[in-house]
Amino acid sequence: MQKYGLNYEDSLHLSTAIRTGAKEIISDDKASTKHP
């Protein structure tokens, strides 16, 4: 969380995406666009 500046919910979503092999994450959260 601290390494990438993510909050708890964003960290949970990212870890789930990585674990499931997601190739892309689509979000309408304006804050999420600051991370590649």
pLDDT at res. 19: 96
- What are the tokens at 9? 């919910």
User: How many Cβ atoms sit within 10 Å of the Cβ of residue 13?
Assistant: 16
- For the CA atoms of 28, 32, 7, 25, what is the dihedral angle to 10 degrees? 80
- Are 8 and 1 contacting, i.e. CB atoms less than 8 angstroms apart? yes
pLDDT at res. 23: 93
* 25: Cα within 13 Å, side-chain hemisphere: 19
- Are 13 and 1 contacting, i.e. CB atoms less than 8 angstroms apart? no
pLDDT at res. 36: 55
pLDDT at res. 32: 60
Q: What is the mean pLDDT of each run of 10 residues along the chain (36 residues)?
A: 81 92 83 60
